[in-house]
Amino acid sequence: MHEPWIWAVLAALGVFHGINPAMGWLFAVALGLQRGNRGAVAWALWPIALGHALSIIAVLAVVGALRVVVEMVWLQVAGALLLFATAAYRLFWRHAARVGMQVGFRDLALWSFVMATGHGAGVMLIPVLLRLPAGSAHASHLHSAALQGVSTALAAVVVHTAAMLASAGLVALIVYEWVGLAFLRRGWINFDLVWVAALTVAGVVLTLSAAL
């Protein structure tokens, strides 16, 4: 059974990822300002969303494959350890992927994939992904069950990415049209620390789930 809260959490995490400047809206705004064109901002968001989605799909593929051969409790423990490790990495070994501003669709998609993967965007979804149905046990054929699992996974990617794209687009438009990048000199939220906190909380949730 598909629990409604799962989709709500996937969408909420998409919004959270979208408002994080490291996930791409800051790049899109800078590109738009460089080219003096609002359309450049909108154009940049699509490959950024694609790269983000591909990173999520990669994590989904790994989780889906492991669910077939590994017991859920061990997946939860491994996921928690991975979340804690990613949080520690983000806290103590930060780095930024640098690319030039003369970029094409493929360059932006690749940059977004690397950033989302390096920040652990997909890893952050593991507690939710493990709650998604892998396929109905009552399906008449194994093939039908596999298709059901794939369709559910793809729906999760669509929901998360759509929320991410919508929030990133809204922030990028507001910053480009009205706020401008000058606000970075006046005040800034340390999203690295927020990201580390979110990864840690997700790890604690998985740890508690495994213990129950």
User: What does the pLDDT look like over 171-189, one tens digit per residue?
Assistant: 999 989 888 766 655 555 5
In degrees, to the nearest 5, what angle opens at C-alpha 158 toward C-alphas 22 and 201? 50
- pLDDT the model gives residue 65: 85
The pTM score is: 0.83
| Residue 165 Cα to chain centre, angstroms | 11
Distance CA 205, CA 212 (A): 11
- pLDDT the model gives residue 1: 41
Distance CA 26, CA 19 (A): 9
Under-70 pLDDT residues of the chain: 1-2, 93-102, 134-146, 181-191
Q: Which SS3 state, helix, strand or coil, does residue 2 take?
A: coil
Instruction: Report the candidate in 94, 74, 160 with the shortest Cα–Cα distance to residue 122.
Output: 160
Q: How many domains does the chain have?
A: 1
Distances (CA, A) of 166 to 18, 119, 150, 151, 170: 7, 20, 24, 22, 6
Distance CA 156, CA 57 (A): 9
- pLDDT the model gives residue 7: 92
Q: Is 166 within 8 Å of 185 (Cβ atoms)? A: no
Range of the domain at 156: 4-211
Tens-place pLDDT, residues 84-102: 998 888 777 655 555 555 5
- pLDDT the model gives residue 14: 96
Q: Which residue has the tokens 């929320």?
A: 163
